[in-house]
A = this chain, B = another copy of it.
Amino acid sequence: MTQTLRDPLSKRRLKAWLRLLNVTRQSENHLREFLRVNHATTLPRFDVMAALWRRREGLTMSELSRALLVSNGNATAVVDRLEREGLVLRTPVEKDRRTVQATLTEAGIRQFESMAAAHENEVNTLFHRLDAEDLDQLRAILQKAVAEPE
């Protein structure tokens, strides 16, 4: 209360950001450990496979890096490794020979689906204290935070 008065909004936004970062890192660390121990994989691999699973027709490398908010060099490296293991396939696009379509192979689909439910369950456990109202509020706040125009 008095805190609200002493503390300018700017400092409160900074603190909120630090808290957000903290919760996100804790959760990421937990899920990384979960994927490593239970499914012998890593977070970036899982993220790439999840993105490709959602769009079964595939994604170009640029679409992939934009979707995951990582650099294109990064996407190349992770897809390289997944391709080497036969989980992802690069297909040249006839219409535009600059681009490549990355898709999950059959093995990739099988592997991802064998992890997806357990992963969702782990996230569910991780955030089990948040009820429907919390989730609604959180969504509203996060959407507001990244809204485009002013």
Contacts and interface: CB of A to CB of B under 8 A. Distances in A.
Interface of A: 4, 9-17, 19-29, 69, 120-121, 123-124, 126-132, 134-135, 137-139, 141-147
Tell me the interface secondary structure of chain A in the complex.
helix
A23 B142 CA distance: 7
Given A13-B127, A130-B144, A69 B25 contact: yes
A142 B124 CA distance: 15
The quantity of this chain's copies bound in the complex is 2
Contacts of A16: 127, 130, 135, 138-139
A17 B23 contact: no
A4 B132 contact: yes
A73 to B, nearest CB: 14
Nearest to A12: B135
Nearest to A20: B24
15 contacts: A4-B132, A10-B120, A10-B121, A10-B124, A13-B123, A13-B127, A14-B123, A16-B135, A19-B142, A19-B143, A130-B141, A130-B144, A130-B145, A134-B141, A138-B138
